[in-house]
Structure 1
Amino acid sequence: MAAHIWGMKIFVLIFALFAAPLAAQQQVPQSAAQMQLSFVPLVKEATPAVVNIYAKIMTQAQRTPLQRDPFFERFFRDPFSEKPRVQNSLGSGVILSADGIVVSNYHVVGMATEIRVVLNDRREYNARVLLGDRDADLAILKIDAEEELPFLTLRSSESVEVGELALAIGNPFGVGQTVSSGIVSGLARSGAGGGNSGLGYFIQTDAPINPGNSGGALIDMAGRLIGINTSILTRSGGSNGIGFAIPADLVAAFVARARDGATEFDRPWAGISGQPVDSDMAATLGLDRSGGIIVSGLHAASPFLEAGLDVGDVILEVGGAAVNTPAEMVYRMSVAGLGRETPVHYLRGGKRFEVQVSLIAAPDDPPRDQIMMTERSLLPGLVMARINPAVISEMNLPLEASGVVVMEAGRFAQQVGLRRGDVIVDINGTEIIASEEAAELLSGKVRWIEMTLLRGDRRTRLRFRV
């Protein structure tokens, strides 16, 4: 019996030791203010600046292969199938200024012919696109309102840290404005986004994001915009807790360009090719850890080459921030903006160097001499241009590409196998250097055409009768 009593005393003592800190952590609210502790004040302040966007996009009906054939197309002529179709797009946006500057995703409004913006209080406005960029998946809109509008302020992305609380606000599935909570799960996510490459630099969050949230706000606990929700990583189509937002610093750069009157976002051109330094490569280079980008190629007009970098150098920082992927470097340069210089730290032979690199647009030199083939030519509608740095950047060509590239294949060229982005090496055995040479050969009276093409890193040959 005595042993039983001692056992009970020990149990009570252990329970008391554990219960004391537990009670301290789980206190019953002592006041009305503590009972009302929630996101309510924050949501009330932020949601008026997050809008629903309804866009109409005109699309052309897809033609079957037989409809595209010159002989069979007459049997498939349908006056109704040729008419453009209206496709409705639903998304979200964020007001960034009292005079009606709105940011959203390019995939929501980029190709729209009509845009309607609906505020949380049900006010509606027509909007127009000032600037859009497919690669960054950003679009800056303007709505004209007589009164001042509610707006969110931007917070520098550099101050955002993993673990911060965050709210995602948008219009998922068109059910109406919705708020979801989570944290900042990761930073500098390159190449993420499930097919939305953007500039390859995202903020990751576990706040639920669903279709319709695109273009909506990711805010911090002070109600400041830290990112624009753009995509999710999912297999089912719904939120799995892995969402991506475009950092506010890039949004600010787009807004500044739009206010300057630009209709396109001209990002700085690096003129280099490279790859991330992994652990095996780091050991070979004598580095104590992986990180940075090793330069594998430099264009003759590259500002990095002019600043003194060479093949084999490892770029460590751009603009004072570490870079570990080419996409991250492009992001840093884009945020800095054209016409400036940015500090670049690199490693060569185990020594660290710093240089100032000029941020320039890809030079459109030598002149591209773009040509469209006429109806009298062998391939009417074919658009070709001489390759220069600007064309390499626009068409995403290899850095060493030269000669003439297909800008638009046109109907007849597509039928014989030409595609946008094909580099024309030769025509009927004649090496092609300028677009005028290609145009002349494709305007002559010949029965057969043989062309050597470069398609990516693959060489192919076409032969067709004309």
Structure 2
Amino acid sequence: MRPPVWLRISWAMKYTLILLMLLGLPLSAQPVPQSAAQMQLSFVPLVKEAAPAVVNIYAKIMTAPQRTPLQSDPFFERFFRDPFSEKPRVQNSLGSGVILSADGIVVSNYHVVGMATEIRVVLNDRREFIAKVLLGDADADLAILKIEAPEPLPFLALRESETVEVGELALAIGNPFGVGQTVTSGIVSGLARSGAGGGNSGLGYFIQTDAPINPGNSGGALIDVAGRLIGINTSILTRSGGSNGIGFAIPADLVSAFVAQARAGEVAFGRPWAGISGQPVDSDMAAPLGLDRAGGIIVSGLHAASPFRTAGLQVGDVIIAVDGQPVHTPAEMVYRMSVAGLGRAAEIAYLRNGASGTMQVDLIAAPDQPPRDLRTFSDRSVLPGLVLSRINPAVISEMNLPLETMGVVVAEAGPLAPRIGIRSGDVILAVNGVEVTHPDQVGRLLNSRQKRVQMMIQRGDRRLSLRFRV
């Protein structure tokens, strides 16, 4: 048997072929590289295969006019009325997206398309489609879109996030600065980055990469050497404001959970509710808790309706894993539960008094019980337009209130309440010294004949006393 051609040619020819590939000069038809060593010679075949599934997104967002305090005042409004400033303004948003199925399912960032009134998707071959948002979530910064095309579209396959490792080669494909589709290369430089670079509420859980992610790359693809999607580029952490920073991508497993809910007809992402509060275990806490190193989450609070409490978890327990995957921060646990999905049970590994154990916890949405009993104050009331809600687990989750919050929450402040210091999200604890637990109580106390009102409210970790005349 004759030896392979590669062994029979001279070393000079070998170096010549390598040089041609490094310079990007055309050779014969190039197969998709099968190893990292081959990939270092050229990304051309990989980009040709993956780029058609990465799209440019142009979104129009209507913004409400900004009104000054004097314009909002009934007396001064006529003096400061500006017919031009009162018209809604159009803002254009530029970003990227990734086609995930031949029938036109597209994923992008929520901050690119979430508030858009018109979304235009432009493919790599310059075809354009109007898209609609099927499902979006600001906390996860993900949105699922749908476009209708006459023929099947190119798409990227999702890679299981647990198989991604630090050090892998990765390409970021997107539309930075609106100059057209661009490819940058790097490696996966970190995993399980919680809250870093997200900036939306600390709920993020990211893959970290050193591939440059510039403005406009948001919503684009982070792919591996096989052309599979490992994440959706979402942000960059940089001190200079340029691309010389650390990039973050949302893992493909969470994207898959979003697609599943969108296909099921959901319009808002259903995230399982834990009903617990806790903090990461650091090195000072590890030894007293029976751990040989820092890790896990120590439970400091349990809501009465928490499924973890129903399963037997107690305050002081340390959660160390969800479905076999270690968790070290609350954001990691939220991510693991979100990937697992509503309606199933997750296996929770925990530590109690130095002894380990496991339990099955049902993954449920935050209960919307007791009823919210929303009350909207009429135009003739003391605070017209004020909307109050009874507090339950669903309200706590939606408004990001502390787990133990009780009382009545301000769902909407209306036009006059902000002038006396009341904001949306404030929790009303008492009115004129009377503790309140229901919106109707607040209504009766405000509509009483007293000329002066004292209201005790909770705002974050501060307790405020407001006094005003009616």
Deviation for aligned residue 1:147: 1.1
Q: 1:205-244 residue pairs with structure 2 within 5 A?
A: 205-244=209-248
Question: Could you tell me which of 339, 359, 366 is aligned with 2:370?
Answer: 366
1:386 to 380, 383, 390: 390
Larger Rg: 1
CA contact (8 A) 2:206 2:249 kept: yes
Q: Do the aligned partners of 1:450 and 1:464 also contact (CA within 8 Å) in 2?
A: yes
C-alpha contact (below 8 Å) 1:194/1:234 kept by paired residues? no
SS of residue paired to 1:356: strand
Match among 294, 300, 303 for residue 304 of structure 2: 300
Question: Residue 64 of structure 2 aligns with which residue?
Answer: 60
Structure 2: runs of 5+ lacking an equivalent = 1-10, 25-40
Looking at structure 2, the residues matched to 274 and 375 of structure 1 have their Cα atoms a distance apart, in angstroms, of 43
* Separation of aligned partners in 1, 2:448 and 2:87: 36
Question: Residues of 1 paired with 2:148 and 2:449: CA distance?
Answer: 57
Q: Provide the aligned C-alpha RMSD in A.
A: 1.5
Give 2:353's match in structure 1, choosing from 349, 352, 358.
349
Q: Which of 100, 105, 118 matches 1:101?
A: 105
Query: Are residue 399 (structure 1) and residue 403 (structure 2) matched?
Result: yes
Q: Is this contact kept in 2: 1:136–1:197, CA < 8 A?
A: no
TM-score scaled to structure 1, two decimals?
0.92
CA distance in 2, matches of 1:65, 1:458: 25
Structure-1 residue corresponding to 2:142: 138
In 1, Cα distance between equivalents of 2:367 and 2:198: 32
| Superposed displacement of residue 445, structure 1 | 3.9
Following superposition of structure 1 onto structure 2, how do residues 161-200 of structure 1 map, counting pairs within 5 Å? 161-193=165-197, 195-197=199-201, 199-200=203-204
Q: Residues 118 and 124 of structure 1 are in contact (CA less than 8 Å); yes or no, is this contact kept in structure 2? A: yes
Deviations 1:184-212 (A, max 9, x none): 00000011015244632100000000110
Structure 1 position 441, deviation (Å): 2.2
Cα 1:116–1:44, aligned 2, differ >3 Å: closer, same or farther?
Answer: same
Q: What is the DSSP-based 3-state SS (H/G/I as helix, E as strand, rest coil) of the residue aligned with 2:79?
A: helix
Give the Å deviation of 1:219: 0.3
Asked if 1:28 is matched to 2:15, the reply is yes
* Deviation per residue, 1:113-152 (Å, 9 max, x gap): 0000000000000000000101000000001111111110
Equivalent residue of 1:72, what SS? coil
- The percentage of aligned residue pairs carrying the same residue is 77
User: 1:422 is aligned with what amino acid?
Assistant: D
The answer to whether the 8 Å contact 1:205/1:241 transfers is no
User: How far apart, in 2, do the equivalents of 1:172 and 1:447 lie?
Assistant: 59
Residues of 1 paired with 2:159 and 2:284: CA distance?
37
Residue 270 in structure 1 maps to residue 244 in structure 2? no
**Aligned equivalents of 2:453, 2:435: Cα separation in 1:** 14
Residue 431 of structure 1 and its aligned partner are, at CA, apart by 1.0
Report the Cα distance in structure 1 between the residues aligned to 2:178 and 2:255, rounded to whole angstroms: 24
Residue aligning to 2:151:
147
Deviation (angstroms), 1:68: 2.0
Ranges in structure 1 where 5+ consecutive residues have no aligned partner: 1-23
1:188 is paired with a residue whose SS is: strand
Please show how residues 303-452 of structure 1 align to structure 2 within 5 Å: 303-452=307-456
Aligned-pair distance for 1:449? 1.8
Cα pair distance change 1:263/1:227, threshold 3 Å: same
Task: Output aligned runs, 1:27-46, within 5 Å.
Answer: 28-30=15-17, 37-46=41-50
Q: 1:90 aligns with which of 90, 94, 106?
A: 94
Q: In structure 2, how many angstroms separate the alpha carbons of the residues matched to 1:345 and 1:31? A: 52
In structure 2, distance between residues paired with 1:41 and 1:380: 64
Per-residue deviation, 1:375: 0.7
Aligned residues: 441
For 2:390 and 2:219, locate their aligned partners in 1 and report how far apart those are by CA, in whole Å.
Answer: 37
Q: Spell out, residue by residue over 1:239-297, the C-alpha distance to the aligned partner (whole angstroms, 9 max, x if none).
A: 12300000000000000000000000010000000000000011222321000000000
In the alignment, residue 454 of structure 1 is paired with which amino acid?
A: Q
Matched residue type, 1:163: G
- Structure 1 runs, 4 residues or longer, greater than 4 Å off: 29-36
Contact 2:346 2:361 in 1 (8 A): yes
Classify 1:173/1:441 alpha carbon distance in 2 versus 1 (closer, same or farther; 3 Å): same
- 2-side partners of 1:337 and 1:235: how far apart? 36
**Cα deviations by residue, 1:41-65 (Å, 9 ceiling, x for unpaired):** 0000001000000000000121112
Q: Distance in 2 between matches of 1:156 and 1:199?
A: 20
Contact 1:125 1:144 in 2 (8 A): yes
Partner of 2:122: 118
Using the alignment, how far apart are the partners of 2:72 and 2:241 within structure 1?
34
Task: Return the alpha-carbon distance in structure 2 between the equivalents of residues 131 and 102 of structure 1.
Answer: 11
| Offset at residue 320 of structure 1 (A) | 1.2
CA distance in 2, matches of 1:54, 1:279: 47
Q: Distance in 2 between matches of 1:145 and 1:339?
A: 33
Note the C-alpha offset of 1:33: 8.4
Partners of 1:443 and 1:29 lie apart in 2 by 89
Name the CA distance, whole Å, in 2 between partners of 1:439 and 1:132: 35
CA contact (8 A) 1:137 1:198 kept: no
Q: Which amino acid aligns with 1:389?
A: P
**Paired residue for 1:156?**
160
Q: Give 1:446 shift.
A: 3.5
Q: Secondary structure at the match of 2:231?
A: strand
Question: For residues 201 and 276 of structure 2, what CA distance do their matches in structure 1 show?
Answer: 19
Cα distance, 1:374 vs structure 2: 1.1
Q: 1:386, 1:434 within 8 Å by CA — same for their partners in 2?
A: yes
Q: Provide the rounded CA distance (Å) in 1 between the counterparts of 2:324 and 2:233.
A: 26
